[in-house]
Every structure is written in C-alpha cells, then in structure tokens.
Amino acid sequence: MDRKGKLARIKKPVSTNLEMAGIMKALNGKPVLFERVKGSASKVIGNLFSTRERIALSLGIKEEKLLERFGRAIDNPKKPPLSASADFIQMENDLRKLPILFHYPKDGGPYITSGIVIAHDKQYGRNCSFHRMMVMGKDRVSMRVLPRHLNTFIERAKGELNVAVCIGCPVNVLLAGATSAALGVDEIGIANALQRTKTVRLDNGIEVPAESEFVLECRITKEMAKEGPFVDITGTYDIVRRQPVMMVDRILRKRNAIYHALLPGGMEHNLLMGMPREPTIFNEVSKECICKGVHITPGGCSWLHAVVSIKKRNENDGKKAINAAFRGHRSLKHVVVVDDDIDIYGPLSVEWAISTRFQADKDMVTRKERGSSLDPSSDQKTRATCKVGIDATKPLGRRAGEFKKATGLTVDLKKYLKR
C-alpha cells in the first residue's frame, strides 16, 4: 500500500487522546501509519482493513470469492499447528506504555478496540472473540462481555479465568474473531481454514495466533466494575454497565510491533464486525432456497440491516429467506429479500425493488424478540426489539414479466455527440 501511495504516513508526533481517532476519522477509511505516538514507543496502524478489496488482497483471494471462501471456512475449521517458539519480547507490565486510544470525548476511558480474547475450557476447547476493554489502571481493564461463549467460560471457571488478549492480528484471525460459531467450535480453526496460520503456547497455557503483534497474558476476575460510556458501531454512545474486571499479568510484543487501532464506528470496525455475518446468513438461507448473495449494508451500521438475493423457485421462498436470515445473524433487525436481478450493493436498486415489488400487508414479516443491545431504540436492558423482514421479490409465473425493467434501447452515444 505504501509503495502504491495508498498509505498515509504521519511523522508528526500525535496524541492518543482524541487526536489519533480524529485523524483516522478524517481520513475516512484510508490506511494510516502513525510513526510517532506521544508517550509510547510503538507505531500504530489504523483503517487497515476498511475495504473488502483490501481484505481479499490480504487473504490472497479474489473479492468475489470472499463470501464463498469464508462460508466454507466457517463450516470446515482446521486446527492450526502449534509452532515451537514465538519471538515475543516482554515489556514493562504497564498498559499506559501502549498507544491505547481515547476515541470520543464522552467515552469512559481509553479503550483497546482490536483486542481478541483467547480462552480455553476443558469441555468446549478454545474460544476466540472480540471484546472492547476500558483501561482503568496500569494493569486493569473492565471489558464488555455479552452472554455468549466467553461468558459461559467465565461462569464455568471456579475462580479466575486465564486468557490472552491478542492485538495486531492478521486478517484471517480478525475475521474469525468476529464470527459467531457454535459453542465448542474453535474460531482459530476457522482462521486457519481461511488462510494457514500457526499458534504458540504462552506461559499461562493459552495457545495464541503466532502472528499477533502484542499479546497480553490476563486473568478475568469475579470482580465487576463500570464499563462505558463508549461509542460503538452505530456511532452513538453505548450506556454504562457493570462488567468483568480483567487483570494484566504480562505484556509481550514482537520486535518493532505495530499496534492496531480500530476506530469505533469507522469503516474498518463496521466491515470487520459486519462482514462475518454475511456467510452465516448465506449458509442459513441456502438451507431454505437458492441464495445468490448477502450484503450487510453500511447504512444499517454494518450490523442491523442486510439485503439477501435469492433465485426464487417457490412463492414462499422470500419469507423462508427472511426467517433464515434472522437465524443467521441474531442481531439483524431489518432484512430485505430481493431477486437476483437486483444489485445488493446498490441502495437505489434495492429501494427500486421495494417500491415496485413489495406490498406491506402481504410481504412483510414482523417479529418482537431479542435483538442487538447496540441499537439505542431497542430496550437497553432486555434487548427487546421489533424485527422486520421485507419480501421484495416478484411473484412467480405469468405476471413476473410485469416486474422487469424494460430493455431494448441501445444506442452508441458517440455517434450523436461527435462534432
């Protein structure tokens, strides 16, 4: 990227306090390397995986193959080999020496946003998941843990739970960490199926991706503390909650390690968090009908909205696809199902389908159930929300022709505009 002029290099010393986040936001997804950070010896990379093109490039595959390859990796995880040694250097055990960003003015503190927690459980094996972490002191953070797999591990642990936090992971690990597989499925196996990787064993027994730039050896305690406010994927402040406290015992880094800063609500955050839900929706819809594509749209915070295209064979395929999509992504709030002549990446195309192929009294599904806590319009305590599915597919049979865009006008404009 640097050779192609696609990397912004910031040589001027910058502050982790609002300044770096401001630069990342102003660059609107353009990758940036902060070469000198005030108060830290480490460089920082931001906006790294903010486009699908760049993710595909890093994985060594074509962009069009991304969904299919990712879906296959989710269904066929492969345990990565354990490498003998890791070239980690131990740092002073003080989080304040790391370039941890304070992102938005009313946030509760500086936050580690690209940290992937690796945990082991006797019965369920390894789990790997993203958690935002608010720095409370030199070796203490409070972190957001939803009632999912890591939480199950914490509840099953008699005392404290040993974990590792990896920062600066390759894209296969980032995508796998954002994937919601079944309990007992090792997400690092998904990462390895997507692109070959290795793990190394830490002194606390946790096996982590060998390519991590920073690794923190930690313990999740039974203590709870305030976490938040924090601007998350919707760009709004998430509320303050009491969340688990994690102690940091050791900080390891690679030689010349680069810290990965993920701007909350930025394009990279949205893409890394949202895109892994496309293959899980795709796989669920494919069980019901012929699925042609899934797009978690950026307008829906890359989290709450999806467009699904299908090749319709039966009149109820649209409704089946709606219900399958909600199964494939539990936080999904609105889904539009379209025929495969609609461009799912084009908002105008999708809106055209809704305006010409959809009747709310027949083609709409609503369900009152638990959704995303990140949506400020949902109940912030119970996560109760109203989900809506829009079947904007055209009916089958004779009338289908009435729903096609007229074609047949082809002229060579050059002939007319030539002087």
User: Which residues are the active-site residues?
Assistant: 232
Span interacting with Mn ion, options 35-43, 123-131, 234-242, 261-269, rule CB under 5 A: 123-131
Span interacting with Mn ion, options 148-156, 243-251, 264-272, 369-377, rule CB under 5 A: 148-156
Residues shown for the chain: 419
Q: How many residues bind Mn ion (CB under 5 A)?
A: 2
Nearest to Mn ion by Cβ — which residue?
149
SS3 call for 239: coil
| Contact pattern from residue 126 through residue 145 relative to Mn ion, giving x for each residue in contact according to CB under 5 A and a dash for the rest | -x------------------
Binder of Mn ion out of 43, 126, 131, 149 (CB under 5 A)? 149
Which residue lies nearer to Mn ion by CB, 131 or 149? Answer: 149
Task: Name, in order, each residue with C-beta under 8 angstroms of 409's C-beta and a sequence gap of 6 or more.
Answer: none
> Does residue 260 bind Mn ion (CB under 5 A)?
no
DSSP 37: B
Backbone Cα Rg of the chain: 23
Cβ contact 87:211 at 8 Å: no
Phi-psi region of 406 (alpha: psi -120 to 50; beta: other; left: phi over 0): beta
> Does residue 114 bind Mn ion (CB under 5 A)?
no
SS3 call for 319: helix
Nearest-approach distance from CB 180 to Mn ion, in angstroms:
7
> Does residue 120 bind Mn ion (CB under 5 A)?
no
Which residue lies nearer to Mn ion by CB, 108 or 115? Answer: 115
> Does residue 312 bind Mn ion (CB under 5 A)?
no
Nearest-approach distance from CB 220 to Mn ion, in angstroms:
15
Distance CA 211, CA 198 (A): 8
Span interacting with Mn ion, options 96-104, 146-154, 245-253, 333-341, rule CB under 5 A: 146-154
The CB density around residue 407, as the number of other CB atoms within 10 Å, is 6
Phi-psi region of 281 (alpha: psi -120 to 50; beta: other; left: phi over 0): alpha
Which residue lies nearer to Mn ion by CB, 188 or 374? Answer: 188
Which residue lies nearer to Mn ion by CB, 127 or 280? Answer: 127
Helices (H), 35-84: 52-59, 66-75
Nearest-approach distance from CB 181 to Mn ion, in angstroms:
5
Q: Are strands 125-130 and 116-121 parallel, antiparallel or unpaired?
A: antiparallel
Which spans of this chain sit near Mn ion (rule: CB under 5 A)? 127, 149
